[in-house]
Amino acid sequence: MTAPAPSPPSAPIELPLESIVGPRIDREEARQLSGLLPVLVQDLTEIDWRLHEVLGSKYSHLTEAARYACSTGGKRIRPLLMAATFRALGQESTAAIRSLCAASQLIHTATLVHDDVIDHAETRRGQPSMPRAFGVPLSIVTGDYLFVRAFQLAAEYSRTIILRSAEACADLVEGEVLQDSAQFDLSRGREHYLRVIERKTAALIASALGSVAEIAGSTPAIVEDAIAYGRSLGIAFQIRDDLLDVHGDPDLTGKPLYTDLREGNPTLLTLEAYHRLDSRHQAEFERLFQLRRKRTRHLLRLKELTDSTDAAAEVEAEARRWSDRAIGSLARFPPGVYRTFLEWLARGAAERRF
């Protein structure tokens, strides 16, 4: 049985300004962005084509599952960051990084598939999750398949880039183990939480942007700056994501509320709220948080206790601090509209509602 021919992305790629650069964008900023967005849309379209070229299997059901996973795998923020960084470093075409961008997106998608299996998720971006649509066994295999195809793409690059990608994947797995070790435990604290999200979210972004800078022929200092930018932006993004788990709009985020509370995963919001409560309410919060099977009333009470503190404001401020660090990492990048765009992306990571 021959492998099916690659198919194009299932829907046109869009870059809604508010979703990627945050809600505070004025008319002049929108005017500046209008010239580069068509270029980046074309970049992402070509990256998606490259991604779909490697999804075909000898078995049509696996091909279908892989394509479905990629259709629900997020907003292509990682390839967008990679393309924008490459152009910010003076490159006029993203052809040289197309396969690496596709690999990064496949790795991210594979982790989402495995997360949905672990979390027993019902939906992903408003559609049935992989386990719900294809069952748990095929979902696990599909996630593995996406990882393999990602490293097939990464094999086009130098040994340092392959090793950097592999190390980021190892960090990702370690982050999952670290998170599991603190499940239902409010005593681990802020530093443990930051170690988790640095590995689970930031490491892959930092690795990808460092490799992009290397392919662009940048100096070692600029490569390190790109890594620092990706790390800080990734942390800001995840802190905001965890806040949206409680205060977001499911119609906008495409994810159900209270997943981390339900699963007992301590987030910065949870930790800050817990430590701001008096001893009586701390005991209630801890008891509810440690329940293995939470009912709706338990989740709503946890939110009520959280909202009785100023924890959300502190979490928002922390996300902005990491966003500012990301922007500071760009100081040695060549000035221009793409560097400005990367700055907007960093701000958007800390302010987004999607």
Same domain flag for 120 and 166:
no
Per-residue pLDDT at 17: 47
Query: Do residues 146 and 168 share a domain?
Result: no
Position 251 scores a pLDDT of: 76
Angle between helices 220-247 and 77-88 (to 10 degrees): 150
Range of the domain at 136: 31-156
* Closest of 195, 178, 206 to residue 325, by C-alpha: 206
**Tens-digit pLDDT profile for residues 125-136:** 778 999 999 999
Same domain? 132 vs 266:
no
> Does some domain include residue 21?
no
- In terms of pLDDT, which residue wins out, 311 or 31? 311
Q: How far is CA 75 from the centre of its chain?
A: 9
The dihedral built from the CA positions of residue 73, 15, 230 and 222, taken in this order, carries a sign that is: positive
CATH code assigned at 107: 1.10.600.10
Tell which of 97, 123, 156 closes a domain.
156
- If phi > 0 it is left, if psi is from -120 to 50 it is alpha, else beta; for residue 124 that is beta
What is the structure's pLDDT at 24?
57
Which distant-in-sequence residues (6+ apart) come within 8 Å of 273 by Cβ?
A: 285, 305, 306, 309, 311
Is there a domain that residue 36 lies in?
yes
Say how many C-beta atoms besides its own lie within 10 A of residue 248's C-beta: 20
For 47, 48, 232, 347, the CA distances from 324, given in Å and listed in that order, are 29, 30, 8, 8
**Does 140 lie in the same domain as 121?**
yes
Does residue 339 lie in a domain region? yes
pLDDT at 2: 45
Rounded to whole angstroms, the Cα distance separating 72 from 109 reads 8
Mean pLDDT of 218-244: 97
| pLDDT at position 74 over 70 | no
Number of folded domains in the chain? 2
Question: In whole angstroms, what is the distance from residue 251 CA to residue 344 CA?
Answer: 24
Residues 168 and 309 in one domain: yes
pLDDT in tens, 7-60: 555 454 555 544 555 555 566 666 777 788 889 999 999 999 999 999 999 999
Percent of the chain with pLDDT over 90: 80
Helices and strands (H and E) in the chain: how many: 19, 2
Q: Which range scores top for mean pLDDT: 56-60, 224-228, 257-261?
A: 224-228
Name the domain boundary from 156, 180, 210.
156
Q: Of 156, 171, 190, which closes a domain?
A: 156
- Which alpha helices (H) appear in 248-310, and where do they start and end? 250-253, 259-263, 268-276, 279-289, 296-307
